[in-house]
Structure 1
Amino acid sequence: MEKVLPSFLDRLQRCCGVEPGDGIVVACSGGADSTALLTLLVEAADRLGLRLQVAHLDHGLRLESGDDARFVAELAAGFDLPFFQRRVDVAEVAERMAENLEAAGRRLRREFLREVADRTGARFIALGHHRDDQAETVLFRLLRGSGSTGLRGMAWSDPPFIRPLLGFRRRQLRSLLRSQGISWREDASNRDLGRARNLLRHRVLPLLTELQPDVVDKLADFAARTAIDEDDWRRRVEAWLARHAAPEKEGLCLELPALRSCHEALRLRIWLAALRRVAGRQTDLTSVHLAACDNLLSGRPQAEIHLPSLWVGRRYQAILIRRRPPEPATSWEVFIDGPGRYMLPTGGELLVSVEEGPAGETGGVAEFALAETPFPLRARNRRPGDRFHPAGAPGGRKLKDFFIDAKIPRERRDALPLLLSDDTILWVVGLRRCEGRRPHAGAKTLKVAFSEGESG
């Protein structure tokens, strides 16, 4: 303990940002790594006045998982620490949510740990990843085709999560436990070579160690150097997003011209940061997904792709990123049988009045000769086959073509109200009136004013 503790205390404060008096939730599975983490944090708590809570999530994947939970409960009791546990059927949740089993377990585990931190007022959640885990992570991501953002590995601090053991080897931690006479639980599934991570740990890394005896340290050091570079890239990405990204309904809107003008190295990092900002950091995104996003910049002016937990759409000069695709448009129609206020299903209202003469049109006001435009009128959204003769145009055309030329995004087309007399579109509300039917001075005038409002 005397050899390990000073280094642990230094990294806990310098690398993880822990300060005296902080509250920490210790994620403990009962395995050697998390048991060593708890043991070291108990020693640190005496010196720094830390407030510790122990949390254990039983995934319900193994018959002996209940024994693991009891072991951790006894461990916490032996240290006189508060203990929180929960049992979740991860397999059932993964099937119901159509998630990968490992991804579902990680998501549920982190949700539980955050909940414990919120309940106890803890500032940090400590995880038991160590230097060997870091090497495995870097190698695994490299094999999956990750870019340098992924090759930075796991961070010491990713608030509220911290990893105080990243500077220690697996063998150091087990040696520490043996020297203290502390036992731990062994998870037999960690020996299952049918899992890619286990195959990497038990077969690939030992082979690489024969070629390069310090391969674990080399990979971990590579991650540390990459992290330095990525910190600089992160600042550039955040500066770009501050200038060219805006919150959008259920997501984010990016300026396409500004994104397209970026160097590819910066652009792909912007994509990744924007996607994670909307979906969360745990969403499984790969270089294939980023390439698919990047292809939107040079493709059709309106296109879309579906990613894990995300929808990304190009709408002319804008990129929209949302958690889910836009809802399909539903048809609606409002009958206007005389002057009055008419609320529209998509939000806003039409104020219809009869005036003694025209007062002049604006973007939100259209005027028509009442003699040529008798009641009743209709307001509705677009329908297949709609035609429109815009004011000033030589003739009628498909409404769809008018929208395309005006570069109106697909979803806005469905929401735009149309004012009709019989089957003639009088006004694409807020955009363009029709040809003809203009009121003369002193003639009865139908005035229609549109005001914005909240949808629904």
Structure 2
Amino acid sequence: MLPLSQFQDFIQQHELFANGNKILLAVSGGKDSVLMLHLFKAIGINIGVAHCNFNLRADEAQRDENFVKILAETLNLPFHITHFDTKKYALENKISTQMAARDLRYDWFEEIRLAHQYDYIALAQHQNDAVETVLINLIRGTGISGLHGILPKRDKLIRPILFLNRQEIEEIIDEEGISFVEDSSNLSTHYTRNKLRLQVIPHLQEINPNLEKTFADNIARFAAIENFLDLEVAKLRAKIIIRKTDGIYIALDEIAKLNPQKLLLYELLKPYHFTEHVVEEIIAGLTALSGTLFFSSTHQAIINRSHLVIVERNAETSLNQFIHPSTDKISFGDYDILLSFTDEIKFEMNPAKAFVNADKLIFPMVVRQWQHGDKFIPLGMRMAKKVSDFFIDEKVPLHLKHSTPILVNGNGDIVWIAGMRQDNRYKLTAATKKVAIFELEN
């Protein structure tokens, strides 16, 4: 007998979907997905069937496709099919065949979901899959999210048969006489998951015959712990993170007070993709000199006096941009610099504009980052000053030093620290005949 009441109870308990929702079922043709299909059909949900042919098992893959197609037609259900060159994708992206198949199918499922207005994608993972996932995560190293393994619902993915284990599925299939196809690759120990399934888990079950139930209980506890941690980190983030236009600020003394420090700082910095190793370096560098930098794939963090400041990494900022007399605008990082000329000798007290004696300019000029050793003569002064000292006097945050555009004349002179101060040598005088106006826009 199909476990329909358990199936419906599990759906309601975890709020997997609502009445009237349309569900796309990922059906491989194996016991798990075929049983899931029959359960959905029996309770009268609006469903469609999706099948991926990964072209990895030649005739067997075509057999699976034909079986699922006929099954969908027999049950009068919409059928969606796709074919992948999985090995080519794996080679091009330098990933394993299993990972390639995973990426390809999830991307395609989402495409079908959106194109045909399905509300959720149902996957036929069960308790044994959850056990294997947790063990794989433990072997490779994991945080709390890896300990809860497979969740019943995440975003648009639902797993409605997680209340069953493999043995229970096999017994139901046998009792109901439900047809299915067997994937021969499930018997190969070439894959990590199969090696655990066939060689490791049987020994664990000898120690604990209720292994799946024990793991299911543990997974629920770990999921609750993760939820609690997320709530606490959200409160902490609201309390100690300051968002400014120029970056994310966290006071160093607030970081020093975190307990447990590494765990909480890692969770706080997770949205900015800092790895656990980099978080350890940040903790070790809290007393380091201002200017110490730490990097993630998308952001950089800098010790700026009393704060850790996080900003996005911008590859374009490091590129020199050339300005010619015909240039009317160039982009540099988050800024645009506009150039115009006038015969009217005028000047405004506006740091976002520089009014320069055009006759002294040598083109092409260049806009670049600040460099060590840079000097200029600030407007109104006679002596040269290091740009680094000027930044200190103006209390410019360290992370902004590298994103502030520096306008340099063709002879190497700094003409303007954009948005701050122009050079005294290029100011307008009574002898000026033509004015070059540089304007900074954010």
CA deviations 1:234-291 (Å, max 9, x no partner) are: 233445567848799xxx964354784543322222344543xxxxxxxxxxxx9422
Q: Is 1:219 the equivalent of 2:206?
A: no
What does 1:285-324 correspond to in 2, within 5 Å?
A: 289-296=275-282, 298-299=284-285, 301=291, 303=293, 305=295, 310-316=297-303, 317-320=308-311
Q: Is 1:270 the equivalent of 2:268?
A: yes
What does 1:54-453 correspond to in 2, within 5 Å?
A: 54-63=49-58, 64-238=60-234, 244=241, 254-257=248-251, 260=255, 262=258, 263-275=261-273, 289-296=275-282, 298-299=284-285, 301=291, 303=293, 305=295, 310-316=297-303, 317-320=308-311, 326-327=315-316, 329-336=318-325, 342-346=328-332, 347-356=336-345, 358-359=347-348, 361-367=349-355, 370=357, 374-378=359-363, 379-382=365-368, 387-391=374-378, 396=384, 406-407=396-397, 409=399, 413=402, 416-420=405-409, 422-435=411-424, 446=435, 448-452=437-441
Structure 2 distance, partners of 1:315, 1:422, is 33
Change (3 A) 1:437 1:312: closer
Change (3 A) 1:402 1:101: farther
Aligned partners of 2:148 and 2:222 also within 8 Å? yes
Aligned partner of 2:46 in structure 1 is: 51
Structure 2 distance, partners of 1:109, 1:239, is 37
Q: TM (normalized to structure 1)?
A: 0.80
Aligned partners of 2:69 and 2:79 also within 8 Å? yes
Structure 2 distance, partners of 1:387, 1:209, is 69
Q: TM (normalized to structure 2)?
A: 0.82
Aligned partners of 2:321 and 2:368 also within 8 Å? no
Shift of 1:61: 1.3
- Percent identity reads 25
Shift of 1:332: 3.0
Structure 2 distance, partners of 1:237, 1:43, is 43
Q: CA RMSD in A?
A: 3.5
Structure 2 distance, partners of 1:295, 1:15, is 40
- Give the letter aligned to residue 208 of structure 1: L
Shift of 1:166: 1.0
For structure 2, the residue ranges without an aligned partner over 5 or more in a row are none
Aligned partners of 2:127 and 2:216 also within 8 Å? yes
Structure 2 distance, partners of 1:385, 1:269, is 35
Length, aligned pairs only: 420
Shift of 1:6: 0.2
Structure 1 distance, partners of 2:360, 2:272, is 50
Aligned partner of 2:12 in structure 1 is: 13
Change (3 A) 1:149 1:408: same
Change (3 A) 1:273 1:407: closer
Change (3 A) 1:394 1:257: farther
For structure 1, the residue ranges without an aligned partner over 5 or more in a row are 276-287
3-state secondary structure, aligned to 2:315: coil
Aligned partners of 1:335 and 1:376 also within 8 Å? no
Aligned partners of 1:381 and 1:414 also within 8 Å? no
Structure 1 distance, partners of 2:386, 2:27, is 64
3-state secondary structure, aligned to 2:20: coil
Shift of 1:294: 4.5
3-state secondary structure, aligned to 1:179: helix
3-state secondary structure, aligned to 2:323: strand
Structure 2 distance, partners of 1:423, 1:269, is 46
Structure 1 distance, partners of 2:244, 2:154, is 23
Choose 99-108 or 157-166, whichever is displaced more.
99-108
- Give the letter aligned to residue 52 of structure 1: I
